[in-house]
Amino acid sequence: MKVKWKFVTVILILAIVMSGCSTSKDAGTITEKKGTAGKQGGTLVIARQSDAENLDHQFMSTINAASITHRKIYEGLVGRDKNSEIQPLLAEKWKQLDDTTWEFYLRKGVKFHDGTPFNAAAVKATFDRMLDPNVASPRAVVFKMVKEVKVIDDYTVQFILKEPFSPLLSILANHEGGIISPKAIEKYGKNIIQEPSGTGPFVFKSWTPGQEIVLTKNENYWGEKPKVDKVVFKVVPEETTRISMLQSGEAQIAEPLSVAQMDTVKASSNAEVYQSEGFGTEYIGFNVTKKPFNDVRVRKAIAHAIEMDSIIKGVYNNVGKKANSLMGSKVFGYDADLKAYNYNLNEAKKLLAEAGYPNGLEITLKTMDNKERVNLAEVIQSQLNGIGIKVNVQVMEYGTFVSQVNKGDSEMFILSWRNATGDADYNQYNLFHTASQGPAGNTFFYSNKQVDSLIDEARKEKDSEKRIKLYAEAQELEMKDVPYIPVRVIENVAATTKDIEGFSISPSGYLEINYVRFK
């Protein structure tokens, strides 16, 4: 499918949402009909490379953690179906009353896992906590446009915005929009919630940090109940061990799966590869406040010195196409005409000399302990040696790596952004806006007033075509400033046993297990 038709599809979806009211009759609740085949019950074991940094989605900075809570423990007012279209969830319907007022009509008869009734007061409590400066949620920036969440009656709530914000529904549909039990909020206040309580199909049972997180089936769930009784997210850093667990039957899902191990899984008699294209990309980032990367000429030199085609083939075995930005082609606002820097060693050397490094320099590149990322780092190390740059590669445990990059304790790093909403705003505001520096996503610590202005304008603009043009202009400026080098569009890859069905990974990167069952 050509990109322009993707834009048309998204534009039509947005036009429908913005023009009126989406109801349960028109759109339906989010559910998938799986038929009667397959077994009920059992324990689903998911072997994962890394543990969650926390289980409080108002403090999470990664999809890795959100995959455990989103749509499993916590649910939002709206969600996305398997086609990534916005559908009713805890809100049965909604309408936009004016440019800055959205009204939601809530589902009745729903209870939180701790028995507390779900109502408008709970919605208000959740977002009041999110936006409370004393709580200091790093995800508060996502809902910066919200002036007030107002209770109209027990099952009607209004979001009153400071200014028009076109992608509101797309934000409410991802993990930051999950509704928390008021009891949990009262218990933990501004501290990170240790025992998450939502309305979702799974209930939190236990977390042994560094080992496992256990969820159990919510027998009182308001919607279609899960097919399994229990889910265990096991932390298994070594990939070969994760795959062995599949082959022995100790686990049913292993993720992530590296390109290097795909053939091993395909050759297995009882395991198979799951693959789907994601919204996001992998990239090489620069902390533009740290020497030598506070000089754009150094950043451009490195961009010209990296030969990406050989990386896509050699490191990723052509899994995931080469990226030209930090958005995948399925994201609303993607610019197909944006050009990344071409491979040009002479230009790279010239720029380094102009920046005051005619004899090269020494830098540090940080990455998480993922095989593909480590391989990428080593290729970058080799390629940059060609222009006299000595690269010291630091491989770190995932949580430590994320923490250091978020704090700005980095020079150059390898990271990814999965874009949880499928809308360019989630990418642009979080990664490039000055207000998002640090844990919110802008770990480049990049700041450009013109870019900020374009992003702010695009958030308010209702006309989809105009939004696309604004994002294209912003991306051109970002490419010129080089806070990052795009690598490839993320391909969601996992390994599963052949005795389960119903598993998927959303384009945002969330693990979808609500409909998994044993065959």
Q: First CA to last CA across the chain, in angstroms?
A: 33
* Banded model confidence at residue 305, pLDDT cuts 50, 70, 90: very high
Provide the H-helix boundaries in 161-295. 168-172, 182-188, 239-248, 262-266
pLDDT at residue 168 greater than cutoff 90: yes
CB atoms within 10 A of CB 153: 10
Q: Are 166 and 460 in contact (CB under 8 A)?
A: yes
Structure tokens at 182: 């008021």
Give the span between the Cα atoms of 117 and 134, in whole angstroms: 26
DSSP letter for 340, please.
P
pLDDT at residue 20 greater than cutoff 50: no
DSSP letter for 193, please.
P
* Banded model confidence at residue 141, pLDDT cuts 50, 70, 90: confident
Structure tokens at 234: 């096991």
The number of CA neighbours under 13 Å toward the Cβ of 113 is 22
pLDDT at residue 6 greater than cutoff 70: no
pLDDT confidence of residue 85: 84
pLDDT confidence of residue 25: 32
The rounded percent of the chain whose pLDDT value lies above 70 is 93
pLDDT at residue 45 greater than cutoff 70: yes
* Banded model confidence at residue 13, pLDDT cuts 50, 70, 90: very low
CA distances from 216 to 72, 112, 225, 247, 290 (A): 10, 14, 11, 24, 46
* Banded model confidence at residue 118, pLDDT cuts 50, 70, 90: very high
Beta strand 361-368 with 412-417: parallel, antiparallel or unpaired?
parallel
Q: Does 3 or 262 have the greater pLDDT score?
A: 262
Q: Does 32 or 173 have the greater pLDDT score?
A: 173
pLDDT at residue 5 greater than cutoff 50: no
User: Of 13-17, 202-206, 371-375, 450-454, which range is least confident?
Assistant: 13-17
| Three-class secondary structure of residue 152 per DSSP | strand
- Could you give the domains of the chain? 53-194 (3.90.76.10), 278-491 (3.10.105.10)
pLDDT at residue 28 greater than cutoff 60: no
* Banded model confidence at residue 15, pLDDT cuts 50, 70, 90: very low
CA distances from 518 to 121, 231, 333 (A): 39, 13, 39
* Banded model confidence at residue 189, pLDDT cuts 50, 70, 90: very high
pLDDT at residue 30 greater than cutoff 60: no
Taking residues 275-289, what's their average pLDDT? Answer: 95
Torsion of CA 512, 508, 380, 341, to 10 degrees: 160
The rounded percent of the chain whose pLDDT value lies above 90 is 82
* 169 burial via Cβ count (<10 Å: 0-12, 13-18, 19+): buried
pLDDT at residue 2 greater than cutoff 70: no
Give the span between the Cα atoms of 115 and 72, in whole angstroms: 17
Radius of gyration of the chain (CA): 23
Give the span between the Cα atoms of 43 and 458, in whole angstroms: 45
Structure tokens at 432: 């490039």
pLDDT at residue 98 greater than cutoff 80: yes
Taking residues 218-243, what's their average pLDDT? Answer: 97
Taking residues 424-451, what's their average pLDDT? Answer: 95
Give the list of residues 6+ apart from residue 251 with CB closer than 8 angstroms, or none: 45, 46, 47, 234, 236, 242, 245, 497
Across the chain, what does the average pLDDT equal?
91
pLDDT at residue 407 greater than cutoff 70: yes
Give the list of residues 6+ apart from residue 230 with CB closer than 8 angstroms, or none: 42, 43, 44, 205, 214, 215, 216, 217
pLDDT at residue 390 greater than cutoff 70: yes
CB atoms within 10 A of CB 316: 21
| Three-class secondary structure of residue 478 per DSSP | helix
Give the span between the Cα atoms of 198 and 76, in whole angstroms: 10
User: In degrees rounded to 5, what are phi and psi of residue 495?
Assistant: -120, 140
Q: Does 7 or 124 have the greater pLDDT score?
A: 124
| pTM, entire model | 0.76
| Three-class secondary structure of residue 341 per DSSP | coil
* Banded model confidence at residue 352, pLDDT cuts 50, 70, 90: very high
Query: Rounded to the nearest 5 degrees, what angle is found at the Cα of 187, between the Cα atoms of 182 and 189?
Result: 85
pLDDT confidence of residue 269: 92
| Buried b / exposed e along 385-417 (16+ C-beta atoms within 10 A) | eebbbebebeebebbebbebbbeeebbbbbbbb
Give the span between the Cα atoms of 228 and 79, in whole angstroms: 22
CA distances from 114 to 171, 208, 271, 391 (A): 26, 21, 38, 52
pLDDT at residue 22 greater than cutoff 80: no
* Banded model confidence at residue 33, pLDDT cuts 50, 70, 90: very low
Give the span between the Cα atoms of 349 and 338, in whole angstroms: 24
Closest among 113, 199, 80 to 512, alpha carbons compared: 80
